Structure 1
Amino acid sequence: MIPRNALFCLFLLVLFAAAGCVSEPPAPQPEPATPAYVPVDQAAAMGLASALSLKPQNLCSWKDLRPGIEDNLRYIRSRPRDEVCVRRPGLLLTWGQLYDSVSELDGLLDQLDADPSLLAERFAWFRLAPGTLLTGYYEPWLKASLTPDATYKYPLYGVPGDLKVADLGAFHPRWAGQRLVYRVEGDAIKPYFGRSDIDGQGALAGKGDEIAWAADPVDVFFLQIQGSGRLDLADGTYRHILYGGKNGRQYVSIGRILIDEGYVPKEEMSMQRIRKFLNEHPDVAEDILFRNPSYVFFQLADEGPFGSINAILTPRVSVAVDRSMIPLGSVVALRTALMDYATGEADPFFSLVLAQDTGGAIQNTRMDLFCGTGEAAETLAGHLQEGAEVYMLLSRRVLASLPNNVE
């Protein structure tokens, strides 16, 4: 396939050869270098609203979004109403404005099955530019036991009793929002134990912080990557296992290590490919895992999985975002394509999604779609790396009430 830029240059050469008989078309508008919100005119918003579909989310009615939207409203209500929740070129928004906008959308759900164009009549659309990388995550299942034995011998840890966390903003304003995770040794503070210390040197062994044991150390690693999951217990029952905390060490992508060191070609990279490599190369697997010092601790629960707003996540509806880019509690439209691995076809996805979660790797415009639980969800999440468009929907009435909504 000829690159798009090459086609454009060829087109210009043809125009020049024609000695000016045809006027040159206007150049396309460049995407902003810094992430920005670009307003969409109402005619275009009408077209976008008419293209939205609930089918890719397995929903029957717009009203099926209400439980999740009301979870979002509960979270937004907990924030200071006059505090700014997003400050980006093109959009300045307070938590109060966001609450009023999402609340209006909640009240409109009963009418949308009959008239989805209301989403363009009543709401202004802002496109997040430049485009977005969409990835996926899921709720993994892993074989486990609440007591150790010869099969279940790889510990899953709760938050250790000696892990300390300091709010650095309390010491100086320049550190506002930053935290220090540490441990105390004698009269000194030190970084908390890393992965090689914990899983290789047994730094936490025998301290009573174990909450379950798994049969496969690779399962433990992927549980930490996803942040929560379900334990398939030996007695036939299951328990949810949820995120409890981190050790504060920098996250290092082992997928990137496998690519950079020639173990796995970039075009083959996926979560499934990483797992296959680790299982087939136990001689180097431990060393590669240890090169990611970040470590996640858990807690057992009867319900889950929960996102960062403390609400249960909904498959293909809940998304993880960078909260400085898209405030938690937002309702946004997401347009992309999801691969159907049963048919090998890419199915269009253009639906409303709810910002309910965050993640250490989710930065800038990148977004993570919660794919659900089970094998199909794992397959989708493991391969999902698609370009996407994201649109913030905000009440026209709310925006008109305050003049300071754009920068």
Structure 2
Amino acid sequence: MIGALRSAVLAGAMMTASAGAAETTHTVLSFAQLDGWAEDDHAAALSTFLNTCDQFNDPDWRSLCAMAREATPETARGFFELLFRPVLIEDGQDALFTGYFEPELEGARFPSSRFRYPVYKMPPEARASNPWLERRQILTSGVMDNRGLEIAWVDDPVELFFLQIQGSGRIRLPDGQTVRVGYGGANGHPYRSIGVELVRRGVYSAHQVSAQVIKNWVRRNPEAGTELLYHNPSYVFFRELRHLPSDLGPVGAMNRSVTPLRSIAVDPAYTPLGAPVWVEKNGAGLMRRLMVAQDTGSAIKGAQRADIFFGTGDAAGQAAGTLRDPGRMVVLLPIQRAYALLPDGY
């Protein structure tokens, strides 16, 4: 997966605890009921769908994947309308869209006075023990020292912390080369939102919290900022992605690159990974487009919860970092599966 923890900084500051296990409902819609459906670029959605549809094991989905390979850009809309039905899946919780991205950090293969903060691979004892040590112990006890676990060193511990939240990124080396890293495991402790902690302390109100606001506060208050980062006991390790082309996005939960503004992270308890999902995001930057569920995240829980992948770099990070919008998501399911979900079947 790209990030076990991303979006928890923002969503965690705003979301309240679930009011219990509400009944899940399924409503089959028509394509005419999807706002903006006819105006979308269905060919782009088809291309994203094809990127992961060969991962399906179910015969219904595999047959759809085979037919998708025969579709053309001109027939893409017809492919979806002929073989799928839109299903609104609801669990009693309001819809929430957040965003994630692939950050870029400055770093080096070897430590120096500038590059002092290591990006670690997962040690074998952490993989064997769940949970393992907490963040503070990992960074202060010396347990990681002199073991060759460093992939690279970066120049900013705050950016490294947020790299762990996103779960993947690019590290730009002084010679112009780039190291791609992806999620390699975690220490097994639950994520504790530092945004929520700042709100609890009265430093900010919930609507003020964003990734950039948190970064700025930590940098202005280095000692208290370090302690704030330790407030989160979770720690994410990485693996180097040596063969991932630079023009492709990071690898998602389906072990394929995700596509900017076409891939989303979902809760697979409600939405099958690989399924097309119609996104109606309200708020600033209204969005109406067909995306594909190709990733997951521990903060992404619920039938109407999605994290939209915005791309790589600072601009993508700024767009993703403030996104916290309502709306509606509708899953496209194979026809027979869609109607089988209704209480009386067909």
Same fold (TM over 0.5): yes
Instruction: Give the greater-gyration-radius structure (CA).
Output: 1
Q: Percent identity?
A: 32
Q: Is the 8 A contact 1:319 1:370 kept in 2?
A: yes
* 2:34 match: secondary structure: helix
| Partner residue in 1 for 2:290 | 352
Q: 1:307 aligns with which of 242, 252, 275?
A: 252
Deviation at 1:240, TM superposition (A): 0.8
Deviation at 1:391, TM superposition (A): 0.8
User: Quick one: structure 1 residues 245 and 260, their matched pair in 2 at CA, closer, same or farther if it must change by over 3 Å?
Assistant: same
Question: Where do 1:12-91 residues align within 5 Å?
Answer: 33-40=22-29, 42=30, 45-48=31-34, 51-54=37-40, 61-76=41-56, 79=57, 81=58
Whether 1:394 aligns to 2:333 is yes
Whether 1:316 aligns to 2:235 is no
- Give unmatched runs, 5+ long, in structure 2: 1-20
Whether 1:203 aligns to 2:143 is yes
| Partner residue in 1 for 2:86 | 125
Question: Where do 1:357-376 residues align within 5 Å?
Answer: 357-365=295-303, 366-376=305-315
Deviation at 1:264, TM superposition (A): 1.6
Q: 1:287 aligns with which of 206, 222, 227?
A: 227
Question: Which residue identity lines up with residue 36 of structure 1 in the other structure?
Answer: T
Q: Find the aligned partners of 2:180 and 2:43 in 1 and give their Cα distance.
A: 28
User: Quick one: structure 1 residues 117 and 73, their matched pair in 2 at CA, closer, same or farther if it must change by over 3 Å?
Assistant: closer
Q: 2:213 aligns with which of 273, 277, 281?
A: 273
| Partner residue in 1 for 2:278 | 333
Q: Find the aligned partners of 2:342 and 2:64 in 1 and give their Cα distance.
A: 16
Deviation at 1:200, TM superposition (A): 2.6
| Partner residue in 2 for 1:223 | 163
- After superposition, give the CA deviation of every residue in 1:350-372 in whole Å (9 maximum; x if it has no partner): 11111111112111232111110
User: Quick one: structure 1 residues 164 and 239, their matched pair in 2 at CA, closer, same or farther if it must change by over 3 Å?
Assistant: closer
Q: Find the aligned partners of 1:297 and 1:322 in 2 and give their Cα distance.
A: 22
* 1:334 match: secondary structure: strand
- After superposition, give the CA deviation of every residue in 1:47-104 in whole Å (9 maximum; x if it has no partner): 42753544xxxxxx5333344212221211xx3x3xxxxxxxxxxxxxx333334554
| Partner residue in 2 for 1:154 | 117
Q: Is the 8 A contact 1:142 1:230 kept in 2?
A: yes
User: Quick one: structure 1 residues 263 and 250, their matched pair in 2 at CA, closer, same or farther if it must change by over 3 Å?
Assistant: same
Greater RCO, CA 8 A, separation 6+: 2
So what's the TM-score if we normalise by structure 2?
A: 0.83
* 1:163 match: secondary structure: helix
Q: Which has the higher strand share?
A: 1
Deviation at 1:399, TM superposition (A): 4.2
Question: Which residue identity lines up with residue 156 of structure 2 in the other structure?
Answer: D
Q: Is the 8 A contact 1:128 1:389 kept in 2?
A: no
* 1:347 match: secondary structure: coil
Greater shift in the superposed pair: 368-377 or 218-227: 368-377
Question: Which residue identity lines up with residue 388 of structure 1 in the other structure?
Answer: G
User: Quick one: structure 1 residues 119 and 69, their matched pair in 2 at CA, closer, same or farther if it must change by over 3 Å?
Assistant: closer
User: Quick one: structure 1 residues 161 and 118, their matched pair in 2 at CA, closer, same or farther if it must change by over 3 Å?
Assistant: closer
| Partner residue in 1 for 2:318 | 379
Q: Find the aligned partners of 1:146 and 1:52 in 2 and give their Cα distance.
A: 49
- After superposition, give the CA deviation of every residue in 1:210-268 in whole Å (9 maximum; x if it has no partner): 11111010011000000000001112221111111111111111111111111122111
Question: Where do 1:113-262 residues align within 5 Å?
Answer: 116=77, 119-120=80-81, 122-129=83-90, 130=92, 131-165=94-128, 181-182=129-130, 191-262=131-202
- After superposition, give the CA deviation of every residue in 1:128-174 in whole Å (9 maximum; x if it has no partner): 22442111100000111110111101111011132234xxxxxxxxx
Q: Find the aligned partners of 1:390 and 1:262 in 2 and give their Cα distance.
A: 34
* 2:124 match: secondary structure: coil
Question: Which residue identity lines up with residue 72 of structure 1 in the other structure?
Answer: T
Deviation at 1:331, TM superposition (A): 0.7
* 2:112 match: secondary structure: coil
Q: Is the 8 A contact 1:153 1:214 kept in 2?
A: yes
User: Quick one: structure 1 residues 50 and 270, their matched pair in 2 at CA, closer, same or farther if it must change by over 3 Å?
Assistant: closer
Q: Find the aligned partners of 1:52 and 1:350 in 2 and give their Cα distance.
A: 10
Q: Is the 8 A contact 1:52 1:352 kept in 2?
A: no
Q: Find the aligned partners of 2:261 and 2:107 in 1 and give their Cα distance.
A: 27
| Partner residue in 1 for 2:4 | none
Q: Find the aligned partners of 1:52 and 1:377 in 2 and give their Cα distance.
A: 27
Question: Which residue identity lines up with residue 214 of structure 2 in the other structure?
Answer: I
Question: Which residue identity lines up with residue 23 of structure 2 in the other structure?
Answer: T
Q: Find the aligned partners of 2:188 and 2:250 in 1 and give their Cα distance.
A: 22
Q: Find the aligned partners of 1:347 and 1:216 in 2 and give their Cα distance.
A: 31
